[in-house]
A = this chain, B = another copy of it.
Amino acid sequence: VSTRTYRQYCALARTLDIVGDRWALLIVRELLGGPKRYSDLLGALDGIGTSVLAGRLRSLEVDGVVRRRRLPPPAASAVYELTAMGDELGDALLPLIMWGARHALGARRDGEAFRAEWPLLVLQRAIDPAAAAGVHQTIRFDIDGSVAHLRVVDGHISVHAGPPEEPAEVAVTLDVGTLVDIGSGRVALADALAAGRIAIDGRPEAVQTAMALVGALSGTRRASRPSGPD
| Residues in A lying within 8 Å of B, measured CB to CB | 6-18, 20, 22, 25-26, 29, 46-47, 63-64, 67, 81-89, 91-105, 108-109, 111-115, 118, 122, 125, 129, 155-156, 176, 183, 218-219, 222-223, 225-230
Oligomer: number of copies = 2
Q: Which residues of chain B are near A81, meaning CB under 8 Å?
A: 229
| Set B112, B122, B219, B223: member contacting A8, Cβ < 8 A | B112
Contact A26 B16 (CB under 8 A): yes
Contact A12 B83 (CB under 8 A): no
Question: A176's closest neighbor in chain B, by CB?
Answer: B9
Contact A11 B85 (CB under 8 A): no
Question: A104's closest neighbor in chain B, by CB?
Answer: B14
Contact B87 A229 (CB under 8 A): yes
CA distance A57 to B10 in the complex (A): 21
Contact B98 A95 (CB under 8 A): no
Q: Point out which of A15, A94, A103 has the most chain B C-beta atoms below 10 A from its C-beta.
A: A103
Given the contacts A6-B26, A95-B92, A219 and B228 also touching, CB distance less than 8 Å: no
Given the contacts A9-B176, A101-B11, A109-B9, A225 and B92 also touching, CB distance less than 8 Å: no
